[in-house]
Amino acid sequence: MGTPPAQPHTVRPAIRSWRDFSFRCSSRAGYVSQFLRCVPRVPALEVVAEPLIDRGVNVEDARSRAADLLSRLQIASTMWALPPATFSGGEQQRVNIARGFIADLPLLLLDEPTASLDTGNKQVVIELIAEKLEVGAAVLGVFHDAEVREMVADRVVFVEDFSPSGHPCAVTGRRFAAPLTFPSTEVRDER
């Protein structure tokens, strides 16, 4: 039978190897998860600068940009040489946010970016999102915080109907150049 041809703007993760899909996503999308996952003993400044260094940016320029973001997110400069594994949950989340926002990519995926943040840092994240939108990035995020969601989203989709438990959550998106479409979840065995 074969796999039908992909349509423009269609995401088809079921037919890609995980490695290929992951590489393609990392070169086009920034991602902020709820929890920081990084190599132990790597200093926070290096964790944040790494996405730029991986893209060929001069190490000093990448570190400078990382320092700017860490400062904005109120991570004291005395902590930059320490591994984030030694930080509090909120500090780890701010390092994670800085890492996700550092590169200028066309898509930014956010998973509860303000969940563990105080009011001041929550406002910084809202400003960072607004800055990404100003330069034309698409932002797709999950926000349980209704106040933040209303401040950053121009389109809200409640996905509680998609969950068997009916647990409320929302996906917010902004300024997509074209609608995102998702093919059938049917996986074909072509052996």
Q: Is residue 182 part of a domain?
A: no
When pLDDT is cut at 50, 70 and 90, the band that residue 185 belongs to is: very low
Domain assignment of residue 190, yes or no:
no
8 falls within a domain: no
What kind and span of H or E run contains 74? none
Tokens of 107: 């898509």
CATH number assigned to the domain comprising residue 73: 3.40.50.300
pLDDT, tens digit, 9 for 90 and up, residues 11-37: 555 555 655 655 555 667 888 887 777
**Number of separate domains in the chain:** 1
Residue 100 has pLDDT above 70, yes or no: yes
SS3 category, 27: coil
For residue range 120-150, list pLDDT tens digits in order: 999 999 999 999 999 999 999 988 888 998 8
The verdict on residue 80 lying in a domain is yes
Position 25 in a domain: yes
Contact by Cβ (8 Å): 6, 12:
yes
For the whole prediction, is pTM greater than 0.75?
no
Q: Which pLDDT score is estimated for 21?
A: 53
- Close Cβ partners of 121 (under 8 Å, ≥ 6 residues apart): 73, 74, 90, 94, 114
For residues 143 and 112, the answer to whether their CB atoms sit within 8 Å is yes
How many other C-beta atoms lie within 10 A of the C-beta of residue 66?
25
Give residue-wise pLDDT tens across range 21-78. 555 556 678 888 877 777 778 999 999 999 999 999 999 999 999 999 999 999 999 9
Query: By residue range, what is the domain housing residue 33?
Result: 15-174
For the chain, how many residues are written?
Answer: 191
- Answer whether residue 99 shows pLDDT above 80: yes
Name the one residue in this structure whose structure tokens are 């993760």: 13
